Amino acid sequence: MSEWIPVNQPPKASGRYLVSMRFVTHDIVETASYSTDLHKVDEYDFPKHEAGWYNYDSEYGYYKIENVIVAYMPLPKPYVPDTNDGKMSEIPTKYREDVGKPDRGRKGVRI
């Protein structure tokens, strides 16, 4: 896995990252998104063309994360069980044809 990168060295690409956040009483690690242009994410919530960290709340929409992220790292690859024969035997037969296709209703790709 990658090492933590200080937040004063921002990511070169927009995307989702693992972030270390420092608050007054505690520290947490969670995921957050980074954009090289927040205005492209949402024109209403981010009226300025600037880079920054953000997340999404289903009740309040997009919000900018400021002054609490101290470091970040790329997300690790998803866990895939090791099989001796190289086949996808751990995936039920009815789901094998969906591997790698977009998941309807959610962003991302099924693994």
Q: What's the pLDDT tens digit per position in 35-51?
A: 999 999 998 889 999 99
Sign of CA dihedral 57, 62, 67, 70: positive
pTM for the model: 0.68
Q: How far apart are CA 3 and CA 22, in angstroms?
A: 17
Q: Is residue 104 part of a domain?
A: no
Q: What's the pLDDT tens digit per position in 50-101?
A: 999 999 999 989 999 999 999 999 998 888 877 666 555 555 555 555 555 5
Q: Is residue 11 part of a domain?
A: yes
Q: How far apart are CA 111 and CA 105, in angstroms?
A: 15
Q: Is residue 66 part of a domain?
A: yes
Q: How far apart are CA 53 and CA 60, in angstroms?
A: 16
Q: How many domains does the chain have?
A: 1
Domain range enclosing 42? 5-74
Q: Is residue 109 part of a domain?
A: no
